[in-house]
Amino acid sequence: MLLSLIKKWSRPGARTEARTHVSPRRLHIGGQIAHPEWKILDVIAGPHVDFVGDCTDLSIFGDASIEEVYASHVLEHLGYAHALPTALREIHRVLVPGGTLCASVPDLDILCALFLDQEASAKQRMKLMHMMFGGQTNDVDFHRIGLNDELLRGFLAEAGFVDITRVNGFGLFSDASALAFKGKLISLNVTARKRPGA
């Protein structure tokens, strides 16, 4: 939930590296907790952030240099006309052939059904609205697209991804990919691969 079209690569206090190509094995876009097996990219600097930047420009990473990319509740912060397609092409570019993207977004189909539930209270609908449009707690916490399975698959396929598979969860991090509301999981979780040999 922390990415947008901010184009600054370094900010005071962030651990940054030169704009030469670097090659983390696993890249967590928008991660909030440091993990020894993952490097974190985020637009907001912090002690857990390894690279400050925007996922629409991954030029710091070489072609076919990363085995796995994880992005939970990030893609919905990107505009559908330009930023989202650009980010997915960039992720596809940096993945090794056969590399995997694990992506989670709020599932607009599920959120709409919950919002339209006649038994939902105004307070519950307000919470659902936050899930649809972002918490809006800072300048980047806004959602710029609503995605369901069909739309997300289309964007992924257009970027060159194959083997797009909906999954219940990833089991990698404790984050919004496992968020439930009124007992219903609200995230659309998918894995997608870069074609081997691509």
Q: How far apart are CA 29 and CA 51, in angstroms?
A: 9
* Residue 8 counted as domain residue: no
* Residue 49 counted as domain residue: yes
The arithmetic mean of pLDDT across residues 45-71, rounded, is 96
* Residue 2 counted as domain residue: no
Q: How many residues does the chain have?
A: 198
Range of the structural domain that residue 111 is part of:
26-194
Share of the chain above pLDDT 90, in %: 84
Q: What is the pTM of this model?
A: 0.86
Identify the CATH number of the domain in which residue 76 sits. 3.40.50.150
Q: Residue 182: CB partners within 8 Å, gap ≥ 6?
A: 114, 124
* Residue 175 counted as domain residue: yes
Q: Which of these ranges, 4-18, 23-37, 38-52, 71-85, has the smallest mean pLDDT?
A: 4-18
DSSP, res 195: P
* Residue 54 counted as domain residue: yes
Q: Render 32-73 in DSSP notation, one character per residue.
A: -S-BTTBEEEESS--TT-SEES-TT--TTBPTT-EEEEEEES
pLDDT higher than 90, residue 15? no
Q: How far apart are CA 187 and CA 16, in angstroms?
A: 31
The arithmetic mean of pLDDT across residues 8-12, rounded, is 33
Cβ–Cβ < 8 Å for 175, 73:
yes
pLDDT for the residue numbered 140: 86
pLDDT higher than 50, residue 73? yes
pLDDT for the residue numbered 20: 55
Per-residue confidence at 30, pLDDT binned at 50, 70, 90?
Answer: very high
The count of other CB atoms within 10 Å of the CB of residue 41 is 25
* Residue 7 counted as domain residue: no
Of 106, 110, 74, 79, nearest in space to 91 by CA: 74
pLDDT higher than 50, residue 4? no
Domain count, the chain: 1
* Residue 112 counted as domain residue: yes
Q: How far apart are CA 29 and CA 84, in angstroms?
A: 14
Joined together, the tokens standing for residue 48 give 């857990």
* Residue 144 counted as domain residue: yes
The amino acid at residue 78 is L
What is residue 95's three-state secondary structure? strand
Buried b vs exposed e over 72-105: b needs ≥16 C-beta within 10 Å?
bbbbbbbeeeebbbbbbbbbbbbbbeebbbbbbb
